[in-house]
Amino acid sequence: MQYRPLGRTKLKVSALCLGTMTWGEQNTQKDAFAQIDRARDAGVNFIDAAEMYPVPPKAETYGETERILGNYLAERGNREDWIIASKVAGPGNWLPHIRDGMTRFTREHLTAALDASLKRLKTDYIDLYQLHWPDRSTNFFGNLGYRHNPDESITPIEDTLEVLDEFVKAGKIRHIGLSNETPWGVSRFLHLAESRGWPRIASIQNPYNLLNRTYEVGMAEISLREQTGLLAYSPLAFGTLTGKYLNGLSPEKGRLTLFSRFSRYTNPQAEQACARYVRLARDHGLDPAQMALAFVTRQPFVTSNIIGATNMDQLNRNLSSINMGLPDGVLEAIAEIHQSQPNPAP
């Protein structure tokens, strides 16, 4: 396993991070415990969760992922061996079951969210506390074009960062991160941290994979120059880059078979590009999933690649990707495909 600095903090996280959003929906607690033990054996020391998980979010399962992780930490008694990340849900009328829809980044709502997460996780602190998506309308979750609304009511970033500073001083969290953010948002958080002496963001958790490399356009430079590395989520584009959905296939337990909400990865352009990447991997004797993961992990702006699995075979293959080097011929072919079909699933 490789280990990389988490921003400018003193923490070093594994280059592969164990994702958790299937725990409590597609995976049982027993499954999750086995996944954590296997990841630990492979050298993983970094786990990413969220109060909203599992996905798709619903009232019946809200918080179950954090509860499962908390049960593991309590049973194993090895909290100090792990760097635990979690996320507070941002605003949205599609989450009425979370604090009765009160998911703004204000003092009241952030305090309620953090205290509940700490209770579910059975821990006194969270190593990396992330804002799951911005408290403003902007282009995230597959929306490329930004449309400005000057009349929108938003929580000032100053107010949010001031509260997070208090959490750090109280020892409830060690570091902060952003997720689904834009260059403007990252720059604003960095400026306020520097000018006010507030906590500096350590990471940015955004989507990044062979079908969606939009992070390279405006965010990669920030990550490298400011040491705010990417925690890449959806590195397999919800499993499409494994090839298991090609040619109209719908595996019974596949996430895209079960949950149609992730259809942005199955548009015709994405399917065509995906088929080319899968064929490229197989032509070179590579596992398509491992090639896709290795491509993400090797990027200089990536701090950690968040892998997820619903069975142990998937997890083992994903973990093994850390040892895969990509030949120059493969990298050149990836560049050619990307140039001809850039970002078909943003």
Q: CA–CA separation, 346 vs 143, rounded Å? A: 7
Q: CA–CA separation, 67 vs 51, rounded Å? A: 9
Which member of 3, 53, 125, 208 is catalytic? 53
For 268, residues 6+ apart whose C-beta sits below 8 A from its C-beta are none
Is 53 among the residues known to form the active site? yes
Which of 242-279 are b and which e, b meaning 16 or more Cβ less than 10 Å from the residue's Cβ? bbbbeeeeeeeebbbebeeebebbbeeebbebbebbbe
Cα distances from 213 to residues 14, 90, 278, 335, in angstroms, run 22, 24, 17, 11
Residue by residue, DSSP assigns 147-195 as ---TT-----HHHHHHHHHHHHHHTSEEEEEEES--HHHHHHHHHHHHH
Q: Does an H or E element contain 17, and which?
A: strand 16-19
Q: What are phi and psi of 63, to 5 degrees?
A: 80, -5
**310: its two tokens:** 């619903």
Amino acid letter, 42: A
For 283, residues 6+ apart whose C-beta sits below 8 A from its C-beta are none
Residue by residue, DSSP assigns 96-137 as TTSGGG---SSHHHHHHHHHHHHHHHT-S-EEEEEESS-SS-
Torsion of Cα atoms, 308 then 111 then 136 then 230, to 10°: -40
For the chain, give the longest Cα–Cα distance.
55
Q: CA–CA separation, 85 vs 179, rounded Å? A: 12
Q: CA–CA separation, 340 vs 272, rounded Å? A: 11
Q: Which residues are catalytic?
A: 53
